Structure formats: C-alpha cells, structure tokens
Amino acid sequence: MQTTRMYLILICCLLLTGCVKTKILDDIELIMTYGYDWDPAAETYKGTAVSPLYGKSEQMEIGGNFRYSGSAKTFQDISSFIQTKAPYQVEVGNLIGILFGEELAKKGVSDIIYGINEDPNIGRDLNVAIVEGEAETLLKQDYNMELTLSRFIEELINNNSKSNIPKMNLHDLNYRLTGEGMDPFLPILRQSEDSIDIAAIGMMKDDKLVHEIPYEQFFVFKLLYEDCEDHTYEFDWEEKKRTVAISSIRSTRSIHWKSKKEVVIKADISGTLTESKNMGVKNFQEKIDIEQAVSKKLEEEGTKLVKKFQELDIDPLMIGASAKGKFRDWTVKEWESQYPEIKITPSVDFNLDLSNIIQ
Amino acid sequence: MIRKKNSNIQKKNKQPKKDINSFNDLLPMMEKSDDFKHLILGSTKNIEIFYYQSLINMEKIEVSLFGKLEDAKVDNLDVLENLLPFSEAEITEDIKIIEEKLLTGFIAVKFINNSQNVLLIPAKFEADRDVSQPEIEFSVLGPKLAFIEDLNTNINLIRKRIKLPQLHVKSLQVGKITKTDISIVFIDGIANPDNVDIIEQRISAVEYDQIMDSSFIAQMISDNSQSPFPQLMDTERPDRVSSALVEGKIAIVVDGSPHVLIAPTTLVEFFASYEDYFLSWHIASAFRIIRIFAVIFSVLITPMYVAVLTYHYHIVPGDLLGTLISSRKDIPFPPILEALILELTIELLREAGARLPTKIGQTIGIVGGIVIGTAAVEAGLTSNVLLILIALAALASFTTPIYRMGNTIRLLRFPFIIFAQMWGLIGIFISIMFLITHLLRLTSLGRPFLEPLYPPRWRDFKDAVIRLPFSVQGARPIITTPKDKNRINLARTNAKRARRK
Amino acid sequence: MNHFKPDISQMVSPFLLLYIIHATQIGEGILSFERQIASIAGFDAWISIILTGVLTTIIIVVIWKIIGDQQRDFMDIHQYMFGNILGKIFTFIFGLYLLTVSVIVLISYIEIIQIWFFPDMSIYFFLFVLFVLIIYICLGGFRTVVGFAFFSFFVTAFLAIFKYEAFAAGHVHNLLPVFNTPFKDIILAIEPMSFSFLGIELILIYAPFIHRFQSGLKWAISSNILTTSVYLFSAIALFIYYNDQQIQLISWPTLQLWKVINFPIVERFEYVGIGLHFIAIIATSCLYFWASIQCFHRLTNFSFRKMSIFFSLIGFSSIFFIHNFLMIEKITTFISRAGVILLFAYIPLLYLCHKIVSGVKKKHANN
C-alpha cells in the first residue's frame, strides 16, 4: 500500500514535469509573411510581419490581415519585438514568404537569411522576393483580393515559377549563396493600384542586388537557365513586320564545353504557332523560315543577356558550377578571374511542331 | 493466465456432501424446493416418482408415463424399464448420478421397498429458441444461420457442414456450481494434437463457480488475460467455425452460449469477415484493405487532430489552415478537452443505443447524431471539423467484423489521445510503439498473434491482409501447425486445370 | 565444453538476420553522416561508403568464422580463449560498451526532438517513458526485440523513398568529376563512415538465438549490402541536393531536405519523418540494450528481468551527467571510435588468436 502510493506520487511528479508549452492553432499569431527593410539612419533592420485573419467561416472575412512592425538588429530580435504588439504568442513556423526592400537588397540580405536558416521552425520551401521600394509599404497597403495577402504572394510567385520565372525558394537561394560558381536571383514585386505583380527578376552578386531584367527577357533567361514547359513567347518578326505568338513551348537546356574558355548553352525548343493571322505555315520553306527567324532572335537576345552578366561579373546561369563538374583542375579563384572573358554562346534550335486549329 | 496445477482437478472431484449416502438422504434437501414433485402411482401404490417440474416436458410425461403407470402391476425396475418407451433410461443406485440427472431433466422412478435402485427416465424440457439469422456478424451474401444457446444444436450445426467421422467432440464440465458443459471440437488428423491438449488442459484447470458464456472461458484460458485484445476468436457463424476446423483450428462450444470460440487465431483474422469468401477475391481483398485502413484511421485520427492542433501548426498546409482556424475560432476549450468531450458523447450514444430496444436505439442514434452534433457546433462547443473526424472514426471502428475487437479498437484511442496531448506527434509514435510491442508479445495458444506479419510467413499472406483466389489457397495456414498441411494436391489440380484449357 | 543454449521459443529464423542487422546499423547516423564524410572526402565520399561496405562484409565473414559451428556466443569464446577471469572482464567491458551505445543513441535523438519539437521539454520524464518502453520490449524476449526491429526496417525503407525530392530538385553535376579528391581522403573517410555501420558486433551476442546460424551468413551479408545501398542512395541524393559548402553548414542534412517535401495534408514532412525515424532509433537502442543485458545476465546469472530494470535505472540516471550537446558529441565520438576499433581491430585479432589457441589445444588433445 505504502509503496503503491509512493509510485503514484512519483508518477504524478513526473507527469507534472512532462508538460510542454502548447501552441494551439487558434491561440497563436501565425506570421506568414515577413518583410524586411533597411533603415540607414538608425542602422537597423525594420521588419514587417503579416498574419492572416480568419473569420468564423473562411468565406466571411476574406483576405483579412494583421500587420506588425518592429526594428532590431537581428532576425530573432524583430520577432521578439513584434511579440510586444501581438495579443497572442508569435509563431513563425508557417512562414511562406520573405520579402526584402530594395534598399536592403542592395545592401545585402545574407544576415537576415542566415538568421532565418537557424530557426528549425521555419521551412525551406518558402518564397523569397525583392520589393520595389519598401517592403513595409507593400505589406501595409490594403488590397481587394480573394486570398489573404500572404497566400496571394505565395500563389503569385508559385504560379509564375511554372511559366515565367525560374523557381527560387529559400533552399535554392541558400544553395546559390553558399555555392561556388553561381549567383542567386530573386523575383521583384511591384505594388500596382490595388494589387501586386511581378515586375522583374533581380540578379544578385553574392547577396546584393546588382541588376534587374524586365519581363521581356524572362523567357530568354529561363530558356538559358533550365528546362521549361508550357511557355508562351511573343515573337516580333521585324523583316515581315508581323507579330506571332508561340505557345506550349517545351525546351531542354544543356551546356556543352568546347574548351575551358568556350562554352555553348544549347536550348532545344518546340512549340505551337498561335495568333498567326495572315501568316499560316503552308509549306516546308515557310516552316524553316520561321524556325530560323525565331532561333536567331532568341540567340541574339541570349547573347545580349549573357554579355550583360559577364559585364557585371555575375553568374546566375550557374555556368561556373557546370565548369566545376567538367574540369578536374577547376578552382574558384581562377574561375572568377576568367569568367568575364569566357566565350559563352547561346545556341537555340527551334522546332515548330504543330500549327493552329484555325486554318 | 489460468494454468493451474493438476492437483486442482483432483480437488474438485471431492464432493462436499459427506452425509448423503442414499436417495432417502437426498430427498429432504430437494423437497425444500417447491417445484420438486413427489408422486405415488401404480395399482398397489408402490411406485414413487420424483422430478423437477420446471425441468421436464410435462406433455410427454403425462401421455407416456403417467398413463402407463397409473394401473401398472409391476414390482421390478427391469420390467418397468422394458415396459416404458424411453431409450435413454437407466437403472442406478449411484447417488451422484441420480442427483445430477434429476437436475438435468430426468424423472426418477423408484419402488417403495428397500431397494436403492432408481430408474432414470429422460424427459428434458427443451426451451431453446429456434436457429435464426446472425445478428452481429451479419452478411448480405451466404448462409444466414447462427448458433443458439443449446450445445447440441450448435454441434449439430457444425456436423451438418462437416460430415466426417474424424470430427471429434471432447466433452468437459466446468464451473463449481453451474457445471457447464463444454465441448472441444476438432478434426482428428488435421488439428495439431498439441493444441487440443493445451486447450483441454487449460479448460479443465479453470476454477470458477460459474461459467455463463463462452466469453468467460475466453477470458480465463487466453494466454494473456491482462490484454485488451481478444486472443480467441468468438463467432456466431457455423460456417466460419466449420471453415476454421477444416483449417486445423479448434472450436470450443460452451452450453448456453451462442458464441463459439476458435483457437489459435491471429490479429488479421479479426478483420476478415466470413463474407470475404463469398465474394470474388479482388473485391474481398479490397474490402479487407478498407477495413484495415478504417482501423488505423479510427485509432489515429483523433490523436492526430489533438497533436497537430496543440503543437504542430507547422504541418498544416496553407489551404487547410483557414478551415481549421475558423472552425475553432470560438471554441473555449483546448483541443484535448474538445476531443475528449466529443469522444465521450459518441461512446455514450453507442452505450445507450446498445442498452435500449432496437427501435428506441435507432431514435437515440438520430437524436444524438444530428441534434446534439449540430447543436454543439452551433453553440460553439466543438468545431465541426472535429465532429466530422470523430463521427468518421466511430463509423470506421464499426467496420470490424468481430464485435469484441471493435470495442478494443474504440477504446484504444484514449491512451493515444493522452500521449498526443503530452508530446504531440512524438507521443503518438511512442504509443504506437507500445501498441506494436504489446501485439508482438501476445500469443494465441503459444502461437504469435501477429503472424503472418511477424514472424514473416509469406505463405500465410495468401489469406491475411488480402484474400487470394482459392486456386492458390492450397495449403493450410502455418499458424495452426496442422498435421495435414495441404488442403488439396495443388500439382494435380493445376495439371487438371491446364488440361481443361 | 558446455555452451549457452537459449530457450527454443526465443530463437528466430536466420532469414530475420536481414532485418536485425539492418535495424542495428541504421540509427541516428543516417541523418547526419553525409556531412561527416563529405568534410573529409568531399563529394567523392560515396566511394568510401562502398569501401566501408566491403570491409564490414569481410568482418561479418570473420565473425561467422569465430563463432563456428558450435554457435557459441561472445562469453563462451572469451572464456575459451582467455580463461575465466580475464574472459569475464572482457565481456564486462563489452557489455558496458553496448549499454553506453544504447543510451547515447537515445539521448542524441532526444536532442533532435528537443530542437525540432519541444525546446522546453523535460528530458527526465520523456526518458523515463522511453526506458519503460525499452524494458517492455526487452522483457518480451529476443523474439519481441527482433519483431520490433523488423517493423522498424519498413519504417526506414519508407523514409528512404522520400529522398526522391533531392533528385527532382538537385544538380547532378555536383557529383562530377568523379575521383577528384585524393585517394587518401577517400580512405580516411572510411573511419567516420564505419560509425554508421556499427551494429554487426551484436551478432556475437545473439548468435545462439539464431536457428541454423551458419546458414544465416548469406542473410547477414545481404543485410550489409542493403545497408550500404541505403547509405549510398542517401548520400548521392544529398550530394546532388546540396553543394559541398552548404552541406557543411547543416547539422542534419536529411531533416533539412524533408523540410521541402509537402503533401496535401502534411505541409512539412520533417515532423512526420522525425517521428517515424524515432521508431528506428528505439529499435537500435533496444537491440543494444538487450545485448548488454544479455552480456551481464550471462556474466552474473541474475534474472534477466532484474538486470534490465537495474541497468535501465543506470541508463536513466546517466542523464544527470550528460546535460549538454558538447558532452553528447564527445561521448558519441569516443564510443564510435571504440566501436570502430572493436570492429576492425579487436574482432580480426580475436579471430587470429582463436585460430592459434584452438590449434594449440587440438595439438594438446592429440598428444
């Protein structure tokens, strides 16, 4: 009897010490998007956190958002500072988007990124983007949208990653920040009247924004960067003064090293001709003509893009990493000094495989 | 575990009636009961008749016994025995036999002289219900017969299906006061004699004053009686029992119980309905997989809900987040309380439904399910997501064909919920590990309970999680360690089938 | 000579060696070994995995040779070779080693759970429950321990599938060019790699529990090949997924990889993955714990039950001494080194001595 009671007391004690802090889903402040800006005057980071507001049923209060902001010198401090403003416990485990203000992007984002990397609560499949202007103003604006702001940004970037811009999540960004012979790039968001859109792709040198490429160059960049599927390209045929659209484009990209100083980026693409009013493809000659014209145009644009990259000494196409896998005696130093002089030739092979449904 | 020493059996045989030596000593004790009758008949009033009115069939007796004895002029029991048209009559002076037979519906006839010989005439009153449809293990297809409370009828139902002289029945009597008849049924030459011996030894070692149902026996002779899992299958379907006998298993029929026990058995068999054999094998396999999925779902879904909502908001996908949060927005309780309240409500409904007559039970189900459920959500006491999950989990737990296993499954989730509250997902995995270990340690008649999963016996998988066609069911399950390993000569039947094509 | 013979109801079929050895080998190591070997041999370290696999296979054959036809266990061999007292001391040290491994495996996994799940969790009660679980498994006898390992095998196999994400999002040119690291480094990486292959030394303890032990060699070797291929697959997946600077920054690369995987109902797979892998950890810890209790049980002949409760209390109280991650790391390194020495030095040496001693004894017998 006595021993049983002893055991009971022991087990009770252990049970009491066994409790851990609960994070009940509806009693926490779920931060889903973080925006960071650099405050040059105070030399601190300014963080803006957005958490969704759900009504009694999801349809009732659509797209409600709470915003909190705070300034501090490190990532963790910003979270703690935000806690002073939020009624519930602040949790960052469901973070799905990180935005950087333009100024911060130009200064360098690695401090924040490393801070985020150290928190085991945070996932790796989250979207990172740069904001034209300040992240805070973009996040604090009220929009009229169906989704909450965080989910809107997530869906916006995810869907565009399929068609317009290459995919770049936090892991990919880390990969390019740490790796040799590569530089990261991030989509740039712009605040329009009452919505948000993707304005450009920001090319970075290490962790600093150095260059932006506009929408017109998205396709060429993606073509040279990776395999793509289901793209659309609007082609201005200057010689014949016509504009045609090529849709359902599939491409495969490969890098061929001629020598240590000469490389060809080969892209084999095939697509369907649409919007070809007054320009049907009737015979082989016409088909070859248009194929060659498109290839030539894309190659020209590609060369322009690559030249620019070499000029800025950035390598978003990961040519250096490819060279590392190709040549045994590859070293970072040698590569970095050589990179601007290497001859990089984009070679595009376009194949028109289907015509339109309308003759 | 009831494995008593053999000395217990000998002890039991010593009756505590030392002063009763003759029939006359027995009479005063029996006459205290008002349904004990004592008549004197015969032309010379020399024939005494004793019986328990409540035990015998009066119609039969009045016509064939009283009528003949009214004016009979006999003074010898042997003559009387030949005179009366009863086949099982016997003459004895053994007081123990007389007592026992009187109490099982025999009539004692005695002459008024000093002879101790008594003629015992059977006149048992059969008050059993008719053989009817199975109610617990109902099947849409196939035979619709279920065992009843009578031992002989039950064995008859089995014998009807297995017309074989090798079908042996071993009778035992257990229960200090109830003296319940128990029969061990097996097919000699297929069943492993070791198993028969184990069962016989365990049953005869049972020491208890009353055995009212086969479940008493099941709890007393199972390998680990502390386990919530049944280790002997109980079924009310004669076809299931017969099929198990042919597989080399052993059936235990208890008088007064409509459920027959089958041993040895394994975990997966509890999730196999006998109807599976009436369906084509693809469909049967699909149903079995659905049932096993239902069990896993039923045990894990509420603990998962508690764990995820209490600790792991990370793993909720973005699309689901809004649904979950808005359904829980106004709930004043933490998820654990919410879940426990709803689980208890469902258990209450089930218990109330089970105790009430069928029609009222249905009403209670509707009232509870619809009215209380809706009201609780409207009042903001529970979230509707959890309501759906718990209702589904309850539904899933009823898909288990063996009712006893269904109960275990339903109660199993409560420790899971507590562990989920303590350590979230890790807690659930710890309780899963405890469960697996418990199942690994269980045995049924010394055979591993988890077979064929562990120890892995690929050959027994033919009729476990899935049911393969009869053409590959050539061998009996290894679990029963049958003496005759094969059902059919597969080589011969396959050759025959090839020729037919 | 009278050898130890276990109860027949506790013996398992040789085919189960496939699962036992695999379960003992795969523990916490699979979550982090890629970083360790890559820090020495770069992304050519996958060659070291194959080399280690070959070496351990040789050790397995040697173990089979030591045990011989009579199915003796470590105790019998030690006493046969070194006499009663010295043999017992050696077995005692071996038992201590096994106990330490079983505890350190648990504690270092609890570290992961603390980081990922509950930073404020009280380790005492948690460890208490785990030891209750381990005793519950071990008291079920060797069959239950093996049964648990058997189920854990499917868990690790299931988890290995989830490395597919790496192939979908990775860069194959990370692995190229092959053989770019000096061969010396590849050889050096064998040492950290063999930590992850530890577990075959347990065969020496449970050998008498295997039916027809000699026929189990093929299963043991296939188990080792299986482990090698799991490690190889895992390493190649992660080498494709990370670049060689990045992998050095990450404590548990596999867990980081799982962070990216999501399903319609599970957003972050790592939480499920850590929980599932916990089953494999318990299986490993259990096998070691059972083996150490078996060692002490054979040494002292106290009841297995009392011994396991006593040693689990010792294991439990060790938490009062090991309280920070540096200490865990230090003990892990020490014990793994001890394991490697045991595997690659002691066991071959034992085999040679055994050959000589039995040769001498045979000669004596002939004379």
Contacts of B378 in chain A (CB under 8 A): none
Task: Tell me if B423 and A26 make a contact (CB, 8 A cut-off).
Answer: no
- For the ranges A120-124, A326-330, B476-480, the maximum mean pLDDT occurs at A120-124
| CA–CA dist C108, C131 (Å, integer) | 15
- Within this chain, do residues B295 and B406 fall inside the same structural domain, yes or no? yes
CB C22 within 8 A of CB C219: no
Query: Tokens in use for C221?
Result: 């070797």
The strand order across the sheet containing A343-354 reads A228-237, A242-259, A262-274, A343-354
- Within this chain, do residues A130 and A174 fall inside the same structural domain, yes or no? yes
Is A1 within 8 Å of chain B by CB? no
The strand order across the sheet containing B233-235 reads B167-174, B180-187, B250-254, B260-263, B233-235
Least confident of A144-158, A169-183, C191-205, C334-348: A144-158
Domain holding B347, by residue range, is 277-447
- Residue C96: per-residue pLDDT: 92
| CA–CA dist A236, A244 (Å, integer) | 7
- Residue A359: per-residue pLDDT: 52
Q: Which residue has the tokens 């061999």?
A: C77
Contacts of C148 in chain B (CB under 8 A): 433, 436-437, 440
- Within this chain, do residues B313 and B202 fall inside the same structural domain, yes or no? no
Contacts of C121 in chain A (CB under 8 A): 20
The count of structural domains within chain A is 2
φ and ψ at A129, to 5 degrees? -150, 160
Which of B301, B431, B437 to probe the C interface (max C CBs under 10 A)?
B437
Which of B308, B313, B426 to probe the A interface (max A CBs under 10 A)?
B313
A334 three-class SS: helix
A46 three-class SS: strand
- Stated as kind and residue range, the H or E segment containing A49 is strand A44-53
Domain holding A355, by residue range, is 226-359
Q: Which residue has the tokens 């890790």?
A: B426
Domain boundary among B220, B236, B265: B265
Cα distance from C182 to chain B (closest Cα, Å)? 43
Q: Is residue A114 part of a domain?
A: yes
- Residue C1: per-residue pLDDT: 44
Domain residue extents for chain C: 15-366
For C194-213, how does the pLDDT look when each residue is reduced to its tens digit (9 = 90+)?
Answer: 888 988 889 888 888 988 88
Contacts of A124 in chain C (CB under 8 A): 256, 259-260
pLDDT category of residue C170 using cuts at 50, 70 and 90 = confident
Domain boundary among A173, A189, A214: A214
Task: Tell me if A18 and C260 make a contact (CB, 8 A cut-off).
Answer: no
A349 three-class SS: strand
B357 three-class SS: coil
| CA–CA dist B430, C130 (Å, integer) | 8
- Residue A11: per-residue pLDDT: 65
A-facing residues of C in 164-183 (CB < 8 A) are: 169, 171, 173-177, 180
Is C314 within 8 Å of chain B by CB? no
- Within this chain, do residues A170 and A231 fall inside the same structural domain, yes or no? no
ipTM: 0.94
- Return the higher-pLDDT residue of C246 and B14: C246
Closest chain A residue by Cα to residue C242: A175
Contacts of B320 in chain C (CB under 8 A): 265
Contacts of A20 in chain B (CB under 8 A): 311, 422-423
Q: Is residue B63 part of a domain?
A: yes
CB B355 within 8 A of CB C311: no
Contacts of B339 in chain A (CB under 8 A): none
**Mind spelling out the 3-state secondary structure of chain C?**
CCCCCCCHHHCECHHHHHHHHHHHHCCCHHHHHHHHHHHHHHHHHHHHHHHHHHHHHHHHHHHHHHHCCCCCCHHHHHHHHHHHHHHHHHHHHHHHHHHHHHHHHHHHHHHHHHHHCCCCCCHHHHHHHHHHHHHHHHHCCHHHHHHHHHHHHHHHHHHHHCCHHHHHHCCHHHCCCCCCCCHHHHHHCHHHHHHCCCCHHHHHHHHHHECCHHHHHHHHHHHHHHHHHHHHHHHHHHHHHCCHHHHHCCCCHHHHHHCCCCCCCCCCHHHHHHHHHHHHHHHHHHHHHHHHHHHHHHHHCCCHHHHHHHHHHHHHHHHHCCCCHHHHHHHHHHHHHHHHHHHHHHHHHHHHHHHHHHHHHHHHHHC
- Stated as kind and residue range, the H or E segment containing A38 is strand A33-39
- Within this chain, do residues B317 and B441 fall inside the same structural domain, yes or no? yes
| CA–CA dist C97, C88 (Å, integer) | 14
Contacts of C117 in chain B (CB under 8 A): 311, 423-426
- Within this chain, do residues B317 and B422 fall inside the same structural domain, yes or no? yes
Q: Is residue B289 part of a domain?
A: yes
| Superfamily grouping for domain C15-366 | Amino acid/polyamine transporter I (1.20.1740.10)
| CA–CA dist B219, B196 (Å, integer) | 18
- Within this chain, do residues A154 and A284 fall inside the same structural domain, yes or no? no
Query: CB neighbours of C320 closer than 8 A, spacing ≥ 6?
Result: none
- Residue B430: per-residue pLDDT: 95
Q: Looking at residues A225-253, what average pLDDT do you find?
A: 79
- Within this chain, do residues B410 and B376 fall inside the same structural domain, yes or no? yes
Cα distance from A94 to chain B (closest Cα, Å)? 5
For residue B455, cis peptide bond before it (omega within 30 degrees of 0): yes
Distance of CA C340 to the CA centre of its chain: 11
Q: Looking at residues C15-28, what average pLDDT do you find?
A: 91
- Residue (of B186, B270, B170) closest to B230 by Cα position: B270
B-facing residues of A in 278-337 (CB < 8 A) are: none
Domain boundary among B218, B235, B265: B265
Q: Is the dihedral of CA B151, B156, B161, B166 positive or negative?
A: positive
Which of B309, B312, B316, B321 to probe the A interface (max A CBs under 10 A)?
B321
- Within this chain, do residues B317 and B437 fall inside the same structural domain, yes or no? yes
B471 three-class SS: helix
For C247-263, how does the pLDDT look when each residue is reduced to its tens digit (9 = 90+)?
Answer: 888 889 999 899 888 88
- Within this chain, do residues A308 and A208 fall inside the same structural domain, yes or no? no
Q: Is residue A342 part of a domain?
A: yes
Q: Which residues of C283-298 are buried (b: 16+ CB within 10 A; e: fewer)?
A: bbbbbbbbbbbbbbbb
Q: What is the DSSP string of A174-230?
A: HHHHHSSS---EEEEEEE-SSSEEEEEEEEEETTEEEEEEEGGGHHHHHHHHS-EEE
- Within this chain, do residues A233 and A198 fall inside the same structural domain, yes or no? no
- Within this chain, do residues A260 and A147 fall inside the same structural domain, yes or no? no
- Residue A2: per-residue pLDDT: 63
Is C363 within 8 Å of chain A by CB? no
- Residue A279: per-residue pLDDT: 60
B410 three-class SS: helix
What is the DSSP code (8-state) at residue B124?
A: B
- Within this chain, do residues B209 and B317 fall inside the same structural domain, yes or no? no
- Within this chain, do residues B294 and B380 fall inside the same structural domain, yes or no? yes
Q: What is the dihedral of CA B267, B272, B273, B276, to 10 degrees?
A: -160
The count of structural domains within chain B is 3
Is A91 within 8 Å of chain C by CB? no
Domain boundary among A191, A214, A237: A214
- Within this chain, do residues B313 and B435 fall inside the same structural domain, yes or no? yes
Q: Is residue B452 part of a domain?
A: no
Cα distance from A2 to chain B (closest Cα, Å)? 24
Task: Tell me if A96 and B325 make a contact (CB, 8 A cut-off).
Answer: no
Q: Looking at residues C294-314, what average pLDDT do you find?
A: 89
Q: Is residue B17 part of a domain?
A: yes
- Within this chain, do residues B344 and B236 fall inside the same structural domain, yes or no? no
Least confident of A328-337, B41-50, C277-286: B41-50
For B61-103, how does the pLDDT look when each residue is reduced to its tens digit (9 = 90+)?
Answer: 777 777 777 776 777 777 777 777 777 778 887 888 888 888 8
Burial status of residue C10 (CB atoms within 10 A of its CB: 0-12, 13-18, 19 or more): middle
- Within this chain, do residues B233 and B313 fall inside the same structural domain, yes or no? no
Q: What is the DSSP string of B204-240?
A: HT---S---SHHHHHHHHSS-TT-SS-SSEEE--HHH
- Within this chain, do residues A310 and A346 fall inside the same structural domain, yes or no? yes
pLDDT category of residue B472 using cuts at 50, 70 and 90 = confident
What is the DSSP code (8-state) at residue B66?
A: I
Closest chain A residue by Cα to residue C257: A124
For A292-318, how does the pLDDT look when each residue is reduced to its tens digit (9 = 90+)?
Answer: 888 888 888 899 888 888 888 888 888
- Within this chain, do residues A284 and A318 fall inside the same structural domain, yes or no? yes
Query: CB neighbours of A90 closer than 8 A, spacing ≥ 6?
Result: A28, A29, A31, A49, A79, A82, A83
Is C158 within 8 Å of chain B by CB? no
Contacts of C9 in chain B (CB under 8 A): 446
- Within this chain, do residues B208 and B253 fall inside the same structural domain, yes or no? yes
Q: Is residue B457 part of a domain?
A: no
- Residue B375: per-residue pLDDT: 85
pLDDT category of residue A17 using cuts at 50, 70 and 90 = low
What is the DSSP code (8-state) at residue A339?
A: G
Residues paired with residue B47 on neighbouring β-strands, in sequence order: B41, B111
| CA–CA dist C367, C362 (Å, integer) | 9
Cα distance from A119 to chain B (closest Cα, Å)? 13
Is C245 within 8 Å of chain A by CB? yes
Q: Is residue A323 part of a domain?
A: yes
Domain boundary among A162, A189, A214: A214
Q: Own/partner pairs for C209-213, CB < 8 Å, 24+ apart?
A: C209/C6, C209/C10, C209/C11, C209/C12, C209/C142, C210/C11, C210/C12, C210/C13, C210/C14, C210/C16, C210/C17, C210/C71, C211/C11, C211/C12, C211/C13, C211/C14, C212/C14, C213/C14, C213/C67, C213/C71
Q: Looking at residues A51-64, what average pLDDT do you find?
A: 62
- Within this chain, do residues A268 and A175 fall inside the same structural domain, yes or no? no
Q: Is residue A13 part of a domain?
A: no
Q: Is residue B146 part of a domain?
A: no
Contacts of A56 in chain B (CB under 8 A): 326, 329-330
For C132-158, how does the pLDDT look when each residue is reduced to its tens digit (9 = 90+)?
Answer: 999 999 999 999 999 999 999 999 989
pLDDT category of residue B10 using cuts at 50, 70 and 90 = very low
Q: Is residue A345 part of a domain?
A: yes
Distance of CA A37 to the CA centre of its chain: 18
Interface partners of chain A (CB pairs < 8 Å, 3 or more) are B, C
